[in-house]
Structure formats: structure tokens, C-alpha cells
Chains A and B, each alone.
Chain A
Amino acid sequence: MLKRLTLAAFAAGLSAGIAVLLVQGLWLLPLIDLAEFLESGGDLNAYAPPQGLFAIALMDPDRLLGTFTFDTLTGVAFALMVGAAMSVGVRGDIDWKSGLMWGLGGWAAFSLAPAIGQPPTPPGAAFVDLEARQIWWWLTVSTTAAGLALVVFGHRHQYKLGLWALGAVLLVLPHAVGAPGDGDGPLLAGDLARDFAAASIFSALVFWLVLGGVLGLMLRPSRKP
């Protein structure tokens, strides 16, 4: 069981890492490049954007390799956690389609919900209290994941109304508490910040759908008894 789960998590993490690198290379990494250019005092009119994934790869291969490595590690980490949650549920329910739904749930918990209070930021955005933002991030992802689980699976239990209510409270809780203040606010505001947030949330969606789909495919019960 553990071997199968680990193998599935590696396959899902690697697939998601490869898929998200394409989206990042086309959309998100050019924005990071632009943000760093502006952060170092560059003039926007003098900026020459790298064209495409190959230009980014040629610019700094080691950096792209590091990004790919950590995309994949993050994918394996999420896949281990989601695969564990999937495997304690009803075995017959696992396939690539339900895997996509798990991926959607992971995206909502780990990308969308934190982004409501703390939008993804490009380099150069100034923040104060790192620790407070990390605490809020962990609070948000854990209460959102637990809340979603209660809302989605609550109907299997006799006290379903209570579980649904508790789930709704958990989903709202981090936003009622509120994300810690941004201090002086992002240095790079406006279009770049908005584009970056959109690129991050979209690339995370691709990442999570591939991750969930592959995980469901790998963990589906075998036909053999």
C-alpha cells in the first residue's frame, strides 16, 4: 500500500512539475524577470522581455533547473498528502475523474484560498511580518482543506447538517480573522502585480489538475481481486 502510494505520488508530482514548468516558462517566469528588472532600478522602456521558454532556459539554465526541481518536490509533497487522503476514503471511488476533483480541491485549498487574503506577489514586493503571513497561510490551507472535506463528504454521516455547518465555518474562518497587513504594501503595484497573481493562480490550477488526474489514475483499484 505504502509503496503504491509513494510511487503514485512521485509520478503525479513529476507530471505536475513538468506541466507547470511549461505554463511558468511562458507566462510566470517572464513576469519574475520583469519584476527583478524593475526592482534593480531598470527603466520599463528599456526592458527586453525574454521570448519563450527556450530564452528563459538559455538565460540561466541552473535557475530553471532549480525551479523545476522545486516545482516537482512541491508536487510530490502535495501528492503524498492528497494520495493519503484519497486512499482512506472509498476505494471504488478512485479514478482519474475523481482525481481531477481532488486536484480542484487542492487548488482551492492551497492556491485560491490563501490568494484571497495574500495575493501571490512577484519579487520586489515589500512585506513586513513574514512569520504572521506564514501562520495565516498554514491556518488558511488547513481550515480550507478540512472545511472542503466536511462539505463534500459530510452527507455520508448522520449529522450531515452539523458537519456542513462546521465546514462552512472553517471555510470562512481565515478570512474572518483576516490576513496580516501588508505593511508598506507592494512596491510593484498595478498591472504587474495583477498579472502575476493571475499567472500564479492559473499555473497552480494546471499543476493541481495534472497532479490529481495522474494520482487518481495511479491509485485506482486494480481489476484483480
Chain B
Amino acid sequence: MAEIPTNKSQAKSLAKSLAMAALSQDSITSERASVVLSAVFAFSLGLGLLTMAGFAQSAHDVAHDSRHAFSFPCH
């Protein structure tokens, strides 16, 4: 715990370190948010692609052997 500042320069340095701590906390939170957002986006993209590659009837003939191999229930 920081000591109570007794002069101007100590007060200034305490304020500075508090601001730094707040800033770094903030940047950790926003980095985490960006990781989670990226993950949610990538997961949705993957789910959409999986539905298309595994189940879209329009692609049935060309995807036929691949779907049998992965045992997607396709027909």
C-alpha cells in the first residue's frame, strides 16, 4: 500500500502510478474482449461453413464422398 503523500512530488508520483495501474487493467480487459469477440466470430464462421460443407443439398453431388467419409447424415 502506498504511503500517504506528504509533498507535491510524492502526490504526483502516486497519482501517476494509480493512473498507470488503471490503464493497464483497462488494456487487459479490452484485449480479453477482443479475444472473445474474435473467437465468437470465428466459431460462427466455422459453424456456417460446417453446415454448408456437411449438409447443403445444393452441394450434394460434389461433396458426396467426403460426407460419407465423415458420416454426416446427408441423405
A residues with CB within 8 A of B: 1-2, 5-6, 9, 20, 24, 28-29, 32, 63, 66-67, 69-71, 73-74, 76-81, 83-85, 87-88, 110-111, 114-115, 118-123, 127, 130, 133-134, 136-137, 200, 203-204
B54 near A32: Cβ-Cβ < 8 Å = no
Give every chain A residue within 8 A of B10 (Cβ-Cβ). Answer: none
| Beyond known contacts A87-B35, A120-B69: 7 more, CB 8 A cutoff | A24-B69, A74-B66, A80-B46, A81-B46, A85-B39, A123-B68, A137-B72
Indicate with 1 or 0, residue by residue over B23-66, a CB within 8 angstroms of chain A CB atoms.
00000000000111011111101111110111100010111111
Closest to B41 in A: A2
Closest to A133 in B: B73
A90, B34: Cα distance in complex, Å: 15
A67 near B66: Cβ-Cβ < 8 Å = yes
B residues with CB within 8 A of A: 34-36, 38-43, 45-50, 52-55, 59, 61-75
Q: Assess A71 versus B69: contact at CB under 8 Å? Given A5-B38, A5-B39.
A: yes
Give every chain B residue within 8 A of A20 (Cβ-Cβ). Answer: 69
The secondary structure that dominates the B interface is helix
A69 near B69: Cβ-Cβ < 8 Å = no
A87, B66: Cα distance in complex, Å: 28
Q: Assess A1 versus B62: contact at CB under 8 Å? Given A73-B53, A134-B73.
A: no
Give every chain A residue within 8 A of B74 (Cβ-Cβ). Answer: 130
A6 near B65: Cβ-Cβ < 8 Å = no
A1 near B71: Cβ-Cβ < 8 Å = no
The secondary structure that dominates the A interface is helix
Min Cβ gap B63→A in Å is: 4
Interface centre among B36, B53, B62, B64 (most CB of A within 10 A): B53
Closest to B43 in A: A84
Give every chain B residue within 8 A of A118 (Cβ-Cβ). Answer: 71, 73
Closest to B47 in A: A81
Min Cβ gap B58→A in Å is: 13
Closest to B51 in A: A77
Give every chain A residue within 8 A of B67 (Cβ-Cβ). Answer: 70
Q: Assess A204 versus B70: contact at CB under 8 Å? Given A79-B46, A80-B42, A85-B39.
A: yes
A88, B54: Cα distance in complex, Å: 26
